[in-house]
Amino acid sequence: MEVDIILEPDLGPAQLVELATAAEKYGIRALWTSNYFAHWDPFISLVPVAQATQRLKMGALAVSPFEMHPLKIANALLSLNELSGGRAMAAIGAGEGNLDAMALHKPQKIVVAVREALEIVIGAGHKKLAKDGFKGEEFNVTYPCAYDWLKAPPPFVYGTAYRHMMMRMEARVADGVFIGCTPTEIIEPAMEQVRIGQAKREPGMNPIRVNAFWAWHVKTDRQEAYRESRRELAWRARKLDGDLIKLWLSPDEVQTVVTNFDKFVAAWFDRSGNVQGVPEELCNRLCEGLTSTGGLQDLDREIERYRKFAKAGQTEIALRLHDNPMDALKIIGEKVVPALRL
Instruction: Render each residue's pLDDT in the chain as its tens digit; 342 residues.
Output: 999 999 998 999 999 999 999 999 999 999 999 987 778 999 999 999 999 999 999 999 999 999 899 999 999 999 999 999 999 999 999 876 666 767 767 788 999 999 999 999 999 999 999 999 999 999 999 999 999 999 999 999 999 998 899 999 999 999 999 999 899 999 999 999 999 999 999 999 999 999 999 999 999 999 999 999 999 999 997 778 888 999 999 999 999 999 999 999 999 999 999 999 999 999 999 999 999 999 999 999 999 999 999 999 999 999 999 999 999 999 999 999 999 998
Q: Give the Cα separation of 295 and 17 in Å (integer).
A: 27
Q: Give the Cα separation of 217 and 50 in Å (integer).
A: 27
Q: Taking a C-beta distance cutoff of 8 angstroms, is the pair 67, 36 a contact?
A: no
Q: Which residues contact 79 (CB under 8 A, 6 or more apart)?
A: 43
Q: Which pTM was predicted?
A: 0.95
Question: What HEC string does 78-121 produce?
Answer: HHHHHHCCCCEEEEECCCCHHHHHCCCCCCCCHHHHHHHHHHHH
Taking residue 22's Cβ as centre, other Cβ atoms within 10 Å add up to 17
Q: Taking a C-beta distance cutoff of 8 angstroms, is the pair 329, 26 a contact?
A: yes
Whether cis (ω within 30° of 0) applies to the bond prior to 171 is: no
Q: Which residues contact 126 (CB under 8 A, 6 or more apart)?
A: 154
Q: Give the Cα separation of 121 and 200 in Å (integer).
A: 20
Provide φ and ψ at 273, rounded to 5°.
75, 5
Q: Taking a C-beta distance cutoff of 8 angstroms, is the pair 256, 278 a contact?
A: yes
Largest CA distance in the chain: 61
Q: Give the Cα separation of 229 and 218 in Å (integer).
A: 9
Q: What letter does residue 206 receive in the DSSP assignment?
A: P
Alpha helices, DSSP H, located in 199-279: 222-231, 237-240, 242-245, 251-259, 261-269
Provide φ and ψ at 140, rounded to 5°.
-135, 150
Q: Give the Cα separation of 231 and 225 in Å (integer).
A: 10
Strand pairing of 57-63 and 30-34? parallel
Q: How many alpha carbons lie under 13 Å from residue 171 in its C-beta half-sphere? A: 24
Domains contained in the chain, CATH given: 2-221+293-341 (3.20.20.30), 233-290 (no CATH)
Q: Taking a C-beta distance cutoff of 8 angstroms, is the pair 267, 234 a contact?
A: yes
